[in-house]
Structure formats: C-alpha cells, structure tokens
Amino acid sequence: MSDSPPLIVGLGEALYDLLPTGPALGGAPLNAAVQAHQLGNHAVVASRIGNDALGQMVLDDLTTRGIDTAFIQRDPDAPTGTVEVTMRDGEPEYDIVRNVAWDRLSWDESLASLAKQCDAVCFGTLGQRLEPAHSTIQQFATASQAVRLFDLNLRQDYFSAERLEAGYRTASIVKMNETELAKAAPLLGLGQAEPIPALIGRFNLDLFVLTRGRDGTVLHTADSVVVGQPAHFAPEPDADPVGAGDACSAAILHGAVRRWPLQKTVDLANRLGAFVASRKGATPPLPAELLPGS
C-alpha cells in the first residue's frame, strides 16, 4: 500500500435526520464516510444537496469534520433531503421525504474518475429509490474495482426485488440486519433455511455482514463464519441507536481495504456500533481508545 490513507466513498443520500432532540447530519453512506474518516481513512461523500440553507449546513458540517465535499453536487431546484425520525420503544422510525436533491444524483466525469480511484465505496437501497440516482450509483459500482459494500436499508416502500438484485450484483460485500434478511430472502426467491450461503454463492460475494443489534455482528464467507466479540458502553442521556449500523459499515470497510483478519475487523465493527448506539446522533466523535492502528 502507498503511504496515503485509503480512499473510501460514501455514495448516495446526504440529509438531515430531524430528531426529537434537533437536526442531525445523516444518511447511511454519509454516516459511514464520517466514521471511516475518524478511523484514519480519506473519506469522501458523493451526493447531491439543494441550493438552500440546509444544503449549506451539510457542507459546513462535513468541512468542519475534515470530510472531502468536492463530490457533492448542488441542485438548483430540489431541496436538501430530510427525514423525520421518531423513537418508538427505543427504536427509530423514519418518514423520508421524496423527490429531494439526492434522488437526482447524476453521473459525471468527476464521479467516473472517483470510481476508478477509490479503494472502497458504500451504497444502499435508499439512495437508489428514484432515477437518476439509481443509475448513477449502479454505474459507479460497476465502474469500480474497489471494495463495494451494499448496505441494505429497507425503509418504507423504497425497495424492490429488482433494486435488491441490482445491488447484490454490483457488490463485493453485502450488509443487512436480521429483519432485512427476513424481508430480502423471499423477494429473491430464497426459500431454503440457509439464505446467507445461498446469497454468497448466487452473487459471488466476498463477504456477508449480518448485524444483530445488541448481539453484535457476524461475518460470513463462502467457507467461514466469524462472530464478533460483544461490546457494551454505558449510554448517555438521550442516546439513540441511529447510525450504529453505519459505524459497523465503516469498520468493515476499514478492515477490508487493509486486508485485516476477519476477527479483527468484526471486533472493531462491534465496538464502533455499540459505542454509537450509546450516544446521541449518528456520527458522534469516536474516543481515542476505539481508534485502531493501521
């Protein structure tokens, strides 16, 4: 590897989660990029924001955190994305506004160049709910030889069998939680009792990441299953689990681009996910003791 840190791209939605405690920067790929940056990578957010005050807040917030915003497009007409988040029995529920700027993410020469240069990219289903964003994300993933993490985030009705199939085919790593697996398996016609090996074989995946909330993360390959060491942190007041899965994604990408052993990678994923779940908002600062060496 060269001396420069790996280039990791969060591709898709950039938005503000409108939490009961106030607005917080959000969007799964953006969250993953922020945490990947804190881990010591060169993180980039590739998205589209409105030409509005909230869009400027996105740029200012990311810039303050040291995140590269050169690949964030500005839309003259559509607003910056927002999500109404309410907590029900300790779990977040989302009302995601349609037809916002990130739905209009468009393919251009800068994204084409980024796709060829990056070491890893994280993208999901939500960012692909509408055109042209769907085609742009698929084109990016197809053009890239990088680690390609497809993070299922099955929100509202913003997914379909076709979208899932397209995502799997362009990914080298797929990540989902147990609820998402139960929804996705029938959509893809996986009726057997062991859907994870079936998915790995059908789509030739390098890695399948199953998140299990407080029980932690498990990594599956074609010939191994690696269980993460459990991690727990005392929750602060107003803690919420928003962004815990995205911190897990950041750890998976961090380990993948460094070719870490899977046990080391999944243990970091568990620590980061548990820490973020113990704090307010999706992208809290990570304490020094959680930051790994390279």
Question: What is the secondary structure of the chain as a DSSP string?
Answer: --SSPPEEEEES--EEEEETTEEEEE-HHHHHHHHHHHTT-EEEEEEEEESSHHHHHHHHHHHHTT-B-TTEEEESSSPPEEEEEEEETTEEEEEEPSS-GGGG----HHHHHHHHH-SEEEEESGGGSSTTHHHHHHHHHHH--SEEEEE----TT---HHHHHHHHHH-SEEEEEHHHHHHHHHHTT--SS-HHHHHHHHHT-SEEEEE-GGG-EEEE-SS-EEEPPP---PPPTT---TTHHHHHHHHHHHHHHTT--HHHHHHHHHHHHHHHHTSSSS-PPPPGGGPPP-
d(CA 64, CA 114): 22
* pLDDT by residue, tens only, the chain of 294 residues: 457 899 999 999 999 888 777 788 889 999 999 999 999 999 999 999 999 999 999 999 999 999 999 999 999 999 999 988 787 887 777 788 889 999 999 999 999 999 999 999 999 999 998 999 999 999 999 999 999 999 987 665 656 778 888 889 999 999 999 988 988 888 887 766 689 999 999 999 999 999 998 899 999 999 999 999 989 999 999 888 889 999 999 999 999 999 999 999 999 999 999 999 999 888 999 999 998 864
Closest CA to 113 of 7, 42, 22: 7
Q: Give residue 1's pLDDT.
A: 43
Tell me whether residue 133 is exposed, middle or buried, using C-beta atoms within 10 angstroms of its C-beta: 0 to 12, 13 to 18, 19 or more.
buried
pLDDT 10s digits, 120-157: 999 999 999 899 999 999 999 999 999 999 998 766 56
Contacts of 131 (CB under 8 A, 6+ apart): none
CATH topology of domain 7-285: UDP-N-acetylmuramoyl-L-alanine:D-glutamate ligase (3.40.1190)
51: nearest Cα among 104, 9, 10: 104
Task: Please state, in angstroms and rounded to a whole number, the distance separating the CA atoms of residues 172 and 153.
Answer: 17
Q: Give the pLDDT of residue 33.
A: 97
Strand 15-19: give its sheet, edge to edge. Answer: 22-26, 15-19, 81-88, 91-96
Whole-number Å distance between alpha carbons of 37 and 32: 9
pLDDT at 154: 66
* Cβ atoms of residues 92 and 124 within 8 Å: no
User: Where are the domains positioned within the chain?
Assistant: 7-285
Global pTM? 0.93
Q: Please, which residues bridge with residue 259 across strands?
A: none
pLDDT value for 189: 79
Q: What is the tens place of the pLDDT at every residue in 244-281?
A: 999 999 999 999 999 999 999 999 999 999 999 999 88
| Single-letter amino acid code for the residue at 42 | H
